[in-house]
Amino acid sequence: MKLTPAQVERTLEQFEAQAVPESHPALPELTGLFGEHTFFLDAQGLSIVELVSADGGETGHVVNLANWADANWTKLAPHEPERTDIAIKFAA
């Protein structure tokens, strides 16, 4: 799912990553592969945040979609989505 600007900001306060900007040339390919999401790049690779519906969407979990395939961080190797232990709290 696409996060709101406020949710992206809260995510980046709790998760050391960079959001892939809407203007990035790879975004159409990422969307084609993984669907409509806000994508994040970090030292592990490509991730998204999935909201936890049980708590009204006030928490999200980082889900890794692809790992870096080279030491220069220029190629990603997609894999089955893997939920990480990183929880994002959206409520103040």
Type of residue at 9: E
What per-residue confidence (pLDDT) applies to 41? 97
If phi > 0 it is left, if psi is from -120 to 50 it is alpha, else beta; for residue 56 that is left
Can you tell me the mean pLDDT for 21-48?
95
State the chain's mean pLDDT as an integer. Answer: 92
Q: Could you tell me the residue ranges of all domains in the chain? A: 5-89
DSSP per residue, 35-79? -S---EE-SSEEEEEEE-GGGTTSEEEEEEEEEE-STTS--EEEE
Instruction: Assess whether pLDDT exceeds 80 at residue 55.
Output: no
Dist CA 63 CA 78 (whole Å)? 12
pTM surpassing 0.75?
yes
